[in-house]
């Protein structure tokens, strides 16, 4: 596959790949081109956590925005890392490891479309390191200077 080939994923295709599943999956669609993932999520308003975040004033939590970026990274790892590293990777073995430089700039609410961009910075087993940003209505919502996913390791017993 060429570095410039774009692969598009529907919600159903993403569900078939990711270990995260509804109601805790926050990618409606995605496309991967080389080292980049572009993805979207429409905040519907019926997400279970919005009833308490905040009472009568639903605000999409910053932690879930960052979770969505992590899920986009997980999709990239499960779609690309095996071919690049020459070893199979189980969906159950891709885990969040850390994040640095998390900045949140703007509230988002039901009806907003989150537009996420994630770029691979480094891939070396057992880590994939990304940089990401989230926008809505042309306005910056959040940035992550670094999100690290660990993969291909057996969980300790």
Residue 16 belongs to some domain of the structure: yes
Q: What DSSP assignment string belongs to 7-32? A: EEE-HHHHHHH-S--TTS---SEEEE
Indicate the pTM of the whole model: 0.94
Half-sphere exposure of residue 15: CA atoms within 13 angstroms, side-chain side: 8
**Which domain CATH number covers 10?**
3.10.129.10
Task: Provide the pLDDT for residue 36.
Answer: 98
Residue 130 belongs to some domain of the structure: yes
Which domain range does residue 91 map to? 6-150
Residue 155 belongs to some domain of the structure: no
- Does residue 153 carry a pLDDT above 80? no
10-58: pLDDT as tens digits: 999 999 999 999 999 999 999 999 999 999 999 999 999 999 999 899 9
Mean pLDDT (whole number) for 114-139 = 97
């Amino acid at each position: 596959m060429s570095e410039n080939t774009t692969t598009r994923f529907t919600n159903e295709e993403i569900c078939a790949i990711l270990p995260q599943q509804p109601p805790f999956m926050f990618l409606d669609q995605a496309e991967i081109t080389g080292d980049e993932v572009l993805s979207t999520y429409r905040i519907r308003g019926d997400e279970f956590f919005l009833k308490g975040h905040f009472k009568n004033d639903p605000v999409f939590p910053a932690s879930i925005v960052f979770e969505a970026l992590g899920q986009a990274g997980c999709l990239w790892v499960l779609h690309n890392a095996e071919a690049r590293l020459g070893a199979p990777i189980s969906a159950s073995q891709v885990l969040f490891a850390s994040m640095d430089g998390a900045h949140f700039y703007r509230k988002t609410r039901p009806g907003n479309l989150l537009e996420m961009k994630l770029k691979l910075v480094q891939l070396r087993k057992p880590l994939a390191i990304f940089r990401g940003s989230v926008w809505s209505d042309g306005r910056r919502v959040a940035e992550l200077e670094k999100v690290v996913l660990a993969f291909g390791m057996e969980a300790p017993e």
